[in-house]
Amino acid sequence: MSRPDPFDPWRLALGPIRELSQWWRWWGSTQDCMMAVHADAAGLAKRRDARLAGLVAHAAANSPIYRELYRDIDPGRASLQSLPVVRRQTLMHRFDDWVTDRSIRLDEVRRFISDPARIGEPYRDRYVLWTSSGSTGEPGIFVQDEASLSVYEALLSTRFSAREHAESLWQTLAVGGRMAMLAAIDGHYAGVVTWERLRRRNPLLHACARTFSVLQPIGELVEALNAFEPRFIASYPTTMLLLADERRANRLRVAPQTIWCGGETLADAERARIESVFECRVFQDYGASEAMAIAFDCGCGHLHLNCDWVILEPVDAHYRPVPAGTASTTVLLTNLANRVQPIIRYDLGDSITMRASPCPCGSPLPALTVDGRRDDILCFVTPGGRSVRLLPLAVETAVEEGTGLARFQVIQIADDAVSVRFAPPAGTSRNAAWRRIRRALGDYLVAQGLGDVAVNRDEQVPRADPVSGKFRQVIRGPGVDSRP
């Protein structure tokens, strides 16, 4: 697909109209989100049920794969629990039959997202594309329309920003502060695409917000942050733990007012450690590529489900409901905002626990905790005795983007060695896949000053943890020292 001509007169003429339409849609969604938090349980359920009925009917009418799944079901009368469970692998293998815009094709979408220069750029002038990692064994590609984007932005504006003891993005902008996102920035990942999209649309945000790559050596990242002096930082918990060590050692000198963590599980002890070192509040959100704004931190140690726009069903291994207070084996997600790519009773893979009693914060939104994705920080020792710590998401991204592999595990087996388990995709020999892995991981290690770390081939297949059942991609082996 060719890049659209920026001087096309029709695009120039329609641009302001589209911007006004997007602003108006966002304002309507924002008003609805603000009213919903003042509703009782019955009011929230009414909103949810009406949206669910409309989504199911739309999917059955416009998505061939859902039409097949619901062929023996009356969408107008079926309960949510009577609908079949869907999985990423099934949907991605039939991507063209999944989307409800019948003109969207996977090959065209893949060409678009293969270009990092297009991160944050609209697809076909009306959609946004983002990808997820292959940690579940199947990378995902997700299409968002203007309606779903307005809902995510409204939830961010009204619910995350409502925290009493933290400064929001908008408050940071109001006082002229700077905002930094620290992430894997060379792929079309949901957080980075959203950040860049907002920067493109908002001149003030464009001037005051920057993204920083977590793939660069930690010393370079620290130097860049010291020069930028952000007041608001958004990143992964493992990144902030690593930066907390840098600040404690007086190498990092920034003093943020708010830290926002996402993308990984944040333990209470880790939150306390980051807050103590940076002397500011740390908040987390819960989102996924399948639904960006699932739940937000209330400041009382819980996440609150945006149940007017998202349905979560905690279930056991056989997809049977588990009661509040019990950790689920997985969770079924229904995204009520996205109609171009319906996600209804989708096996998300996370373990959640719904709170049985109301949260002390007083929010009417259901409270939960999440045991989601969390890999290990790796720590190596150079021949000169210097310790170098690597972020798990940086290691994963280096391998994924350098090889195109989805199923692999990097395991640290010594202070100066890793082994790699991998499953090559169909049509690729193990030897060819291994050459790509050695080159991609080796180049990344050299960039971190770890050219002496040995990269070994492990003939075992990648497998889930035998205790937790979770699949982790970056693992610190037993007996390997994790101290900085």
Q: Which two tokens stand for residue 186?
A: 């060379």
State pLDDT tens for residues 125-152: 889 999 986 555 568 999 999 899 989 9
CA distance 219 to 242: 11
Cα-based torsion angle of the residue sequence 283, 288, 292, 296 in order, rounded to the nearest 10 degrees: -30
pLDDT value at position 21?
58
Question: Are the C-beta atoms of residues 354 and 315 closer than 8 Å to each other?
Answer: no
Asked if 49 and 78 touch (Cβ cutoff 8 Å), the reply is no
Give the model confidence (pLDDT) of 313-329 as tens digits: 999 999 999 999 999 99
Q: In this structure, are residues 294 and 337 in contact, taking their beta carbons and an 8 Å threshold? A: no
pLDDT at 148: 92
| Residue recorded with tokens 């997007």 | 22
* Distance (Å, whole) CA 165 – CA 187: 33
Q: Are strands 258-261 and 232-235 parallel, antiparallel or unpaired?
A: parallel
3-class DSSP state for residue 416? coil
Q: At 295, which helix (H) or strand (E)? A: strand 291-297
- Return d(Cα 120, Cα 188) in angstroms, integer: 8
The pLDDT score that the predictor gives to residue 386 is 87
Q: How far from 6 is each of 11, 122, 453, CA to CA, in Å?
A: 8, 13, 47
- CA dist 42 and 355 (Å) reads 18
Alpha-carbon span 73 to 84, nearest angstrom: 10
CATH 3.40.50.12780 maps onto the chain at 11-371
Distance between CA 24 and CA 47 in Å, rounded?
Answer: 20
CA–CA distance, 257 with 170 (Å, rounded to integer): 13
In order of 51, 79, 87, 131, the CA distances from 331 in angstroms are 20, 17, 11, 20
Q: What is the pLDDT, as a whole number, of residue 9?
A: 46
Amino acid at 446: V
Q: Read off the pTM.
A: 0.84
Query: How far is the C-alpha of 81 from the C-alpha of 86, rounded, in Å?
Result: 12
CA 150 – CA 261 distance, rounded (Å) = 22
For the chain, residues classed under CATH 3.30.300.130 are 378-476
Q: Render 219-281 in DSSP notation, one character per residue.
A: HHHHHHHHHH--SEEEE-HHHHHHHHHHHHTTS-----SEEEE-SS---HHHHHHHHHHHTSE
Ranges of the chain whose pLDDT falls below 70? 1-24, 26, 133-138, 160-175, 372-373, 466-470, 481-484
Fold type of domain 11-371: Rossmann fold (3.40.50)
Task: Please give the structure tokens belonging to residue 191.
Answer: 């957080």
CA 324 remoteness from chain centre: 25
d(CA 108, CA 127): 13
| Class of the CATH domain delimited by 378-476 | alpha beta
Count CB atoms within 10 A of the CB of residue 98: 24
